[in-house]
Amino acid sequence: MLGQPDDEYKSHYFLSPLQLHRKSQMHYKLSLLIETYVQATKGKRGPKQTEVFRQHWQWILLGLSRVIFMNSWLVVSLDKSVYSKDIWLKRYEIKYSSVKPIIDFLKDQELIVALSGKKYQGNPSRTRIYPSPALVSQIWGYFLDQEQPIEGPYLTINETDDIWEETMFNVKADESHPDMDDMIAINEFLKPHNWACKAPIRLVYKYTPFQGGRLITPFQNLPDRRARIRINTQIDGQPICEVDFNANHLRLNLAFNASEYAGETPYEDICIEAGVASRDMVKKFITVAMGASDEKSGKSRLRLDGFSSDVIERIHKGALKRYPKLELFNGWGIFAQNYEGQILKDVILQGVKEDIVCLPVHDAVAVQQQHQNWAKEVMLETWQEHLDGVRTKVKVDLP
């Protein structure tokens, strides 16, 4: 196991309704575990209230099982007022009257580590929990058999820079959104299939429902650097590979703005021009420089990430020397996200047509290994179609 995660946004997983898939051999074992905890905590609840309480125990135990492998904290709210406002808590019918006593019990029994809720940029306080070793031993085995039901909403908007502000995107009866039918088709196709951290695939827009759409699903948050967990999972019982676009945002920037092919090794080329040895530093610089709205804020962010002013200037000059038409520090990252999301969505839709499961992983797709050549061809063709024939590169990652 990877141990207790860092307490940061990217390591937060929100409580959601989870269940074991119908073919799991662990239903009886899980029901016995849940019943043990329900009997110890149900108090004076009647039959109907106890059934609701039992469901919350299932969601929390399976959520804690999931975050062990995601190396994340399970986020819950112990602020009663939040439950009448939060769209996801209301959508999933998660009740404060059930969550609070479960968390209190787990804390009293020292079965979880709990970080007290705190305000994030004026948003409601949330508590982050992670299982103790004693609880890990009881629940880790349910990870591969669990799933979140595939149901909408499949389109949401994040209207601010804060992840707590994501809201549902509702299409009026007399309107349609160009992505709605596509996302319904993708998720309907995926319903009978199985993979780790199974959950809906959603398209999340930033600021408006017509820009910055990113494909989001918990599978992509499984670790794959510190520990190679994600790449060693399976789709429908078969080993997977990941086919990803090489230096995708940089290539999108050049293709869109200058109809330019970035070459075979763009990050390495910038390393040479900048006189730095670290490809990862160049990649980080490009990511921040494309996402920043101006040079001052972008370079300030890079310094906070440990870059010296000298290295920042060297990479900046090296990047522009190698690619004079590269656009940096103007907020172009939002357009890169939009193109990336649309390209991957079209790849996944092609998979639907050919009965091939494709799961989005940031700038890549995961497929069964037997489909890797298919994925490479479709990804290259789809990228070129979106970028007026400019070429790109893909690479395959195997366990």
Do 83 and 18 lie in one domain? The reply is: yes
pLDDT the model gives residue 197: 93
Task: Judge whether 256 lies within some domain.
Answer: no
Do 243 and 383 lie in one domain? The reply is yes
DSSP per residue over 327-340, as a string? Answer: --SSSTHHHHHHHH
**Whole-number pLDDT of residue 171:** 44
Average pLDDT, integer, range 82-93: 88
Pull the structure tokens for residue 128. Answer: 């982050």
Q: Give the separation between CA 38 and CA 105, rounded to whole angstroms.
A: 11
Read off the CATH number of the domain in which 235 is found.
3.30.70
Task: Determine the 3-state secondary structure of 205 from DSSP.
Answer: strand
Number of domains forming the structure of the chain? 3
Could you tell me if 64 and 104 lie in one domain?
Answer: yes
> Is 258 within the bounds of a domain?
no
Does residue 165 sit within a domain? no
Q: What is the pLDDT of residue 87?
A: 82
Q: Are residues 316 and 342 in the same domain?
A: no
Q: Is residue 342 part of a domain?
A: yes
The answer to whether residue 329 sits within a structural domain is: no
What is the per-residue burial (b if ≥16 Cβ within 10 Å, else e) of 223-253? bbeeeebbbebebeeeebbbbbbbbbbbbbb
Determine, yes or no, domain membership for 126: yes
Mean pLDDT of the chain: 89
Q: Are residues 273 and 391 in the same domain?
A: no
- Answer yes or no: is 327 within a domain: no
Domain boundary, last residue among 116, 149, 182: 149
pTM, 2 dp:
0.88
Domain that holds residue 81: 9-149
Across 124-146, average pLDDT = 91
Report d(CA 117, CA 43) in Å as an integer: 26
Residues 181 and 73 in one domain: no
- DSSP string covering 214-270: EEE-GGGGS--SSS--GGG-EETTEEEEEEEETTHHHHHHHHHHH-----S-HHHHH
Asked whether residue 316 falls in the same domain as residue 351, the answer is no
Same domain assignment for residues 22 and 96: yes
Whether residues 13 and 108 share a domain: the answer is yes
Domain boundary among 89, 116, 149: 149
Same domain for 346 and 315, yes or no, is: no
User: Confidence band (pLDDT; 50, 70, 90) for 211?
Assistant: low
Q: What is the pLDDT of residues 162-184, one digit of tens each?
A: 444 444 444 443 346 778 899 99
Residues 195 and 129 in one domain: no
Please indicate whether residue 60 or residue 332 has the higher confidence score (pLDDT): 60
301 in a structural domain: yes
Amino acid making up residue 262: A
Q: Tell which wins on pLDDT, 117 or 104.
A: 104
Q: Is 145 helix (H, G, I), strand (E, B) or coil?
A: coil
Q: Are residues 339 and 317 in the same domain?
A: no
